[in-house]
Amino acid sequence: MGKTPGLVFSAGGLPIQAGGAIIGGIGISGAPSGETDEKCAQAGLDAIQDDLEMAEI
């Protein structure tokens, strides 16, 4: 895999989507596994998804 300055590939990160577009990303780190980090990130996104869909982006 090539190196991209300013970009890190790691478990625990998910895209933030609203209105059919990717508008950002969320990354969680610190749990014993990347799988647990990703579950935490997904829980955060689930908690705000309605707000994201209602926002004018």
Provide DSSP, 1-57. Answer: ----TT----TTEEEEEETTEEEEEEE---SSSHHHHHHHHHHHHHHHHHHHHHS--
Alpha carbon distance 41, 32 (integer Å): 14
Domain borders along the chain are 27-57
Number of residues that make up the chain: 57
Matching residue, tokens 């609203």: 18
Query: Would you state the pLDDT for residue 4?
Result: 78
Low-confidence ranges of the chain (pLDDT < 70): 1-2, 8, 56-57
